[in-house]
Amino acid sequence: MTRVLSQIPGSATVYHDGPGHTLYGNNACARTHINRYFTDRTLPSHPTKC
């Protein structure tokens, strides 16, 4: 993942220790970061774990 982030300047990620691609529906921590990005374009601090 670090390699991908280094190729996209200004990017960020939310790490999740668990299954799948269903973070938005099942993880309040991730949902908070996603909503914040969609509403005011604020990226999570690096590194962020949920």
Please check the confidence at residue 2 and state whether its pLDDT lies above 80: no
Please check the confidence at residue 24 and state whether its pLDDT lies above 80: yes
pLDDT value of residue 18: 82
pLDDT value of residue 41: 93
Which of 14-37 are b and which e, b meaning 16 or more Cβ less than 10 Å from the residue's Cβ?
Answer: bebeeeeeebeeebeebeebeeee
pLDDT value of residue 21: 76
pLDDT value of residue 42: 93
* 31-49 residue pLDDT tens: 999 999 999 999 998 788 9
